[in-house]
Chain A
Amino acid sequence: MSQQPAISFRKSECPQFKLRFQSGHFSTRQALLRLMNELKCLNLSHATCVNIELVLAEIFNNIVRHAYSTDQVGPIFVCGTYFGNEIYFKVEDFGCEMTDTSSMAIKEPKLPRLNDSPAEGGFGWFLISQIADRYRYWRESDKNCIEVFMPASK
Chain B
Amino acid sequence: MNIDHHIENGHLILRPKATRIDAFEAVEFKEQVRQISTQHDLDIALWLDHVTFIDSSGLGSIVGAMKRIGPNKKMHLIELQPAVARVFDLTQMNRVFRIFDHMTQFRAEVAT
Residues on A facing B (Cβ under 8 Å):
25-26, 28-29, 46-47, 50-51, 53-54, 57-58, 61, 64-65, 111-114, 117-121, 123-124, 126-127, 130-131
Contacts and interface: CB of A to CB of B under 8 A. Distances in A.
A2 to B, nearest CB: 11
B55 A61 contact: yes
Q: Interface of chain A, helix or strand or loop or mixed?
A: helix
A28 B93 CA distance: 25
Q: Interface of chain B, helix or strand or loop or mixed?
A: helix
B74 to A, nearest CB: 13
Contacts of B40: none
B20 A29 contact: yes
A57 B64 contact: no
A68 to B, nearest CB: 13
A53 B87 contact: no
A83 B90 CA distance: 25
A120 B24 contact: no
Contacts of B56: 58, 61, 121, 123-124, 127
Interface in B44-102: 53, 55-57, 59-61, 63-64, 67, 82-83, 86-87, 90-93, 95-96
B60 A54 contact: no
Contacts of A47: 82, 86
B46 to A, nearest CB: 15
Given A117-B67, A123-B56, A25 B24 contact: yes
A2 B42 CA distance: 40
Given A53-B83, A130-B90, A114 B22 contact: no
Contact of A118 (B53, B61, B63, B82): B63
